[in-house]
Amino acid sequence: MTTMSTNPKITPVTAKATGDARLPTQWGEFRIHGFETANGEEHIALVMGQPDQAEAPLVRVHSECLTGDALFSQRCDCGPQLEAAMQRIGEAGEGVILYLRQEGRGIGLLNKIRAYAVQDLEGADTVEANEALGFAPDARDYGVAAAMLSTLGVHQVRLMTNNPQKVAGLQAAGVTVVERLAIYAGRNPHNHAYLKTKAAKFGHQFDDDKTP
């Protein structure tokens, strides 16, 4: 398999802050910030410390994954990655997690379940399943992430990701990524093929000794 050549989707948007509150967690106390776009999309940011005062705070751009984040699915590594990012920020005492409501790489929860069924019944990988349903392999839009960071006063970041498209997407939207930090968590027998597909078809970059 060869790495797919795709351009990250960037739509210029505004992200209106709708309020914030305390969010105590096992990794420390965050503030949870609500954001709404002009078309009614709702997203959140978890903020610890004063990242707007830092030169380049830790940042994780995390796409919503109800099955992995809340239902503990082992088909992906999303939940463990979210927890690992929160732990890193807790240890640093400062950082931002953008939690974007872009389930299933942007196809939505119900379509993601349909894509799972294609994988189960036809042996397709995650890219092939999305395409079989008529969707792009990755339909996520990073314009909203850049808008949220701008509202929070963050313009340079150390990005916790294995995905080079997230780096390219943020930089194309005007955010400077000064460092990419691999985030490897949650590998198990159920998601080994999924991780191999992310590396082979999306070019995900893991630590050398942790390539799936």
User: CB of 62 within 8 A of CB of 95?
Assistant: no
Looking at residue 57, its amino acid is P
Q: What is the CA radius of gyration of the chain?
A: 17
Q: Given the residues 77, 138, 141, 158, select the one marked as catalytic.
A: 138
Question: Distances from the Cα of 80 to the Cαs of 56, 84, 104, 109, 135, in angstroms?
Answer: 24, 6, 16, 19, 26
Active site residue 31: no
120 Cβ contact partners less than 8 Å away, ≥ 6 residues apart: none
Complete DSSP assignment for 192-204: HHHHHHHHHHH--
Please state, in angstroms and rounded to a whole number, the distance separating the CA atoms of residues 177 and 91.
21
3-state secondary structure of 18: strand
Residue 106 DSSP class: H
Which of 75, 88, 114, 140 is catalytic? The answer is 140
88 carries an active-site annotation:
no
- The count of residues in the chain is 212
Q: How far apart are CA 33 and CA 62, in angstroms?
A: 15
Residues annotated as part of the active site: 138, 140
